């Protein structure tokens, strides 16, 4: 299981740990991923996704999963999130 947010595409970054003696050692900064259940209002279903804390705040800010996916770019989304976005768009077109 990769350490990448399914909604924002945020992944690990690399940098240096700098000691008091100014020694530099490479390290990884991992995203704060949480397994959350998000509910789609249009589909009336719940989806389990691995989302970063920043991504979860963005979902809340935009007004829920449906509004977030409507504005999201496909290249940032995981395959599962792209399928959810496609299903939401299909359900909105039918309604």
For residue 71, the model assigns a pLDDT of 95
Give tens-digit pLDDT for 62-79.
999 999 999 999 999 999
Task: Check pLDDT > 90 for residue 27.
Answer: yes
CATH (domain of 79): 2.30.170.40
Residue 24 falls inside a structural domain: yes
Task: Tell me whether residue 46 is in a domain.
Answer: yes
In sequence order, the β-bridge partners of residue 36 are 49
Burial of residue 4 (CB within 10 Å: 0-12, 13-18, 19+) is middle
8 Å CB contact between 67 and 58: no
Q: Is residue 4 in some structural domain?
A: no
Residue 88: CB atoms within 10 Å: 19
DSSP 45: E
Instruction: Flag whether the pTM goes above 0.75.
Output: yes
């Amino acid at each position: 299981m990769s350490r990448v947010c399914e909604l924002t595409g945020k992944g690990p970054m690399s940098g240096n740990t700098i000691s008091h003696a100014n020694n530099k050692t490479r390290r990884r900064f991992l995203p704060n991923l949480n397994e959350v259940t998000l509910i789609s209002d249009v589909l009336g279903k719940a989806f389990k996704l691995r989302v970063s804390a920043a991504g979860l705040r963005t979902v809340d800010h935009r007004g829920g999963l449906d509004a977030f996916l409507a504005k999201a770019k496909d290249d940032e989304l995981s395959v599962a999130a792209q399928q959810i976005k496609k299903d939401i768009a299909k359900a909105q077109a039918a309604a």
